[in-house]
Homo-oligomer: A and B are copies of this chain.
């Protein structure tokens, strides 16, 4: 998908390229604004938003400036207006249909979770490879067979799917999802997925998160650099 404009050199134009790091923070701002709106706040300064989100206020202002000049100097941002603008930028003014594959421990927890609907997503189907599970009722939905994948994706216009199968099954499932037309995937299985260009994969790996915590925890225990300058190993 290397689409490049004819005259390449000049970085003219309304460069619509919002930095990836900013995009990852927009949902945080969105959530904070929703919270502020619920508490009746009409406007909010970048400092207030910074306090509510834990993001540095200058960084927050720069992030918002990528969307346009939606603030008023001396006043701040209109909470409701900014909330809508961010939702529009992210693309969650309407709900996205989402499909979950692998209805085990985790898949079940996800399908029971009510928080997605208020954040721009609607779970439209649950799929599992185990024939014994197919037909089982779970909330409003019934678990479907993998055989129905293509028809479901087509009927519901699904472009986002969640994988909660064991790691060994994940690549096979991805391939089928991609073949069915899914182009965005959230992967909970601990495996490296290969997808064709144009398909996005994000992964959530709880073991990795814990291991990162463990690393820092270990450092805390061992107190600084042991083999450093003579400074008794204190081991607090």
Contact = CB atoms under 8 A, between A and B. Distances in A.
A13 interface: yes
A212 B217 contact: no
A142 interface: no
A106 interface: yes
A217 B200 contact: yes
A98 interface: yes
A91 B217 contact: yes
Interface string A166-205: 0000000000000000011110001010100010101011
B209 A202 contact: yes
Interface of A: 3, 5, 13-14, 16, 23-24, 26-28, 30-32, 52-54, 89-92, 96, 98, 105-106, 108-110, 112-113, 115-116, 119-121, 159-160, 183-186, 190, 192, 194, 198, 200, 202, 204-218, 220, 224-225, 227-229, 231
Given A90-B214, A214-B120, A204 B198 contact: no
Nearest to A115: B207
